Copies of this chain bind each other. A is one copy, B any other.
Amino acid sequence: MGLIVQKFGGTSVADAARLRHVAEIITDTYKAGNQVVAVLSAQGDTTDELIEKANEINPLASNREMDMLLSTGEQMSVALCAMAVEALGYPVISLTGWQAGMVTNTVARNARIKKVDTERIETELNQKKIVIVTGFQGINRYEDITTLGRGGSDTSAVALAASLRADLCQIYTDVDGVYTADPRIVKDARKLDEVTYNEMLELATLGAQVLHNRSVEMAKKYNVKLEVLSSFTGHPGTKVKEVAKRMEKSYISSVAKNVNIARIALIGVPNEIGTSFKVFSLLAQNHINVDIILQGIGHEEGKDICFTVAQSDLEAASVLLKEHQESIGFGRLETNSHIAKVSVVGAGMINHPGVAATLFEALYDANININMISTSEIKISVLVDEKDAEKAVQVIHDKFFSMG
């Protein structure tokens, strides 16, 4: 008994049958005595189809008009979902972002939620209605419609849960929770009942497509209890909270790999103050994110700077750096896209310094060479050859999670 926010992504509402199923999940929650606010994405490929329509007319359309167009996608899905709930005989109302009081800043196509005026939603809840709200969108101070960019619907759900002081925010998706490793790679991977916000943040960054970082950050900030679960299976999912219960032995929660990265090495950089700054500010100005950085101590002839970028940024980064070869002063540039990042994440490792050693031992036993290493308080990442990545995940998982 409480107030539950339930978010359903595009695949969960893709067609009439799926929408009817979502309506059942929502009304089952309502029947159990809860107040329910559902947050929906646009159906299936709607957003892509709208973008295609826009491109046909004007590939350089303004973001303001794109938001006007794209926001229709969620409006359609909430109206249709409300109709599905009506068909089941429950009181319901759908609300757009502006009707639901989702106030954002003015950055079209990538807006940030500034506040949620919950008055309308609360009025509807007090009238015993199920409330279905468009994800991904809001209204700015000029009364223009805005959209929130990637991960927007998750963020809408968490913002609503925070503002309404919801007891739980359930994120329904096409996976049924967070696993100790990708079940497609590691056969004995187990679903985790609970992970911490920080672990979830690291996992999202590592490419686990479960929750977008923006939403997890907001959940952590406002202490919103999250649950990730599948709208397809009906199984209990993974709860995301401040402190996660876990078996004593499991210092780490999950092993993950990301193969969509590439390494750039600048060889023979002058051993002067400021060269690293030059390189990384140049990349930042051009919106290229750098992940792991390794910089040798250097000697008289110069030093080497290695770092990783997303594979999709490799070409742009290489061209950019070569254009500035003279001013940066490096000797030559080498790239390698056949690498992978394998990471272990776990809030427990803060108090257990042996994790790194265990990780290295697992890789050493499997004869896997480590390229670069990067650590945070609750994460250790290593770069390995792409061909070794799956094996690395498996042996690390065995080492940390085997019951032996």
B72 lies within 8 A of A84 (CB): no
Docked CA distance A145–B75 (Å): 11
A145, chain B: closest CB distance, angstroms: 8
Residue of B nearest to A87 (CB): B58
A57 lies within 8 A of B19 (CB): yes
B80 lies within 8 A of A16 (CB): no
Docked CA distance A80–B98 (Å): 21
Docked CA distance A64–B62 (Å): 31
**Contacting residues, chain B, for A82 (C-beta < 8 A):** 62, 65, 68
Contact pattern, A 62-106, Cβ under 8 Å of B = 1, otherwise 0? 101110110110011011101110110000011010110000000
Please pick, from B69, B75, B84, B99, the residue contacting A79 in the complex, using a CB distance under 8 A.
B69
* Residue among A50, A64, A83, A93 with the highest chain B CB neighbour number at 10 A: A83
A42, chain B: closest CB distance, angstroms: 11
Say whether A272 faces chain B, with CB atoms less than 8 Å apart.
no
Docked CA distance A65–B69 (Å): 19
Docked CA distance A87–B145 (Å): 21
Say whether A246 faces chain B, with CB atoms less than 8 Å apart.
no
Docked CA distance A65–B85 (Å): 11
B16 lies within 8 A of A143 (CB): no
Residue of B nearest to A94 (CB): B68
Contact pattern, A 17-48, Cβ under 8 Å of B = 1, otherwise 0? 00110000000000000000000000000000
Residue of B nearest to A77 (CB): B69
Docked CA distance A173–B54 (Å): 24
B72 lies within 8 A of A68 (CB): no
Please pick, from B19, B61, B72, B96, the residue contacting A86 in the complex, using a CB distance under 8 A.
B61
Say whether A1 faces chain B, with CB atoms less than 8 Å apart.
no
Say whether A60 faces chain B, with CB atoms less than 8 Å apart.
yes
What are 14 A-B interface contacts by the 8 Å CB criterion? A16-B56, A50-B76, A53-B80, A54-B79, A57-B80, A57-B87, A60-B87, A68-B75, A68-B79, A68-B96, A71-B75, A96-B145, A99-B143, A99-B144
List the 7 closest A-B pairs by CB distance, nearest first: A69-B79, A68-B79, A61-B83, A72-B72, A58-B83, A58-B87, A16-B56
- Residue ranges of A at the interface with B (Cβ–Cβ < 8 Å): 16, 19-20, 50, 53-54, 56-58, 60-62, 64-66, 68-69, 71-72, 75-76, 78-80, 82-84, 86-87, 93-94, 96, 98-99, 120, 143-145
